[in-house]
Amino acid sequence: MATTMKLGGVEELLAELAALAPDLTTEAIALQQTVTAETADALRAAYPSVTGNLRASVQVARESSTSSARVFSRVTVTAPYAHFYEFGTVHTSPSPTFVPITRHGREQFAQSVIARVKAHGLTVGGAVG
């Protein structure tokens, strides 16, 4: 069973950014790619290296979209035992890694986009969390 993080919920934001300031869409896409790569690197660094298979199974993919204002990136851990490492078994303790690291990545992306929007002189409301 693969463990997956999908950076979703960004589509509406990117569509709004495209309407407000086209340059922001390009910047948001680049930010998402950077944060996704950093998230994958953090996962690889956090996983143990007994055989190296768990680290090697961390994959990043950019998924296609029909709109230039929408982009999807996916971080996947394909090792068949990844969920046992994350959530534990009757014989092993959980080692929360994927969930906290990907949560941090999503928050980092949102904060980065907010900073870019503000840098363009626009107002941002709501909360991240």
Q: What is the pLDDT of residues 7-34, one digit of tens each?
A: 566 677 666 666 666 677 778 788 888 9
Q: Is residue 74's pLDDT more than 60? A: yes
Percentage of residues in the chain with pLDDT exceeding 70?
76
129 pLDDT band, cuts 50/70/90, is low
Our measurement of the distance from residue 70's CA atom to the centroid of its chain's CA atoms, rounded to an integer in Å, reads 15
**pLDDT averaged over the chain?**
83
Residues in CB range of 118: below 8 A, 6 or more apart = 124
Q: What is the rounded CA–CA span in Å between residue 57 and residue 79? A: 5
Among the ranges given (23-32, 51-60, 71-80, 107-116), the one the predictor scored with the smallest mean pLDDT: 23-32
Burial code (b: 16+ CB inside 10 Å, e: under 16) for 39-60 equals bbebbbebbeeeeeebbebbeb
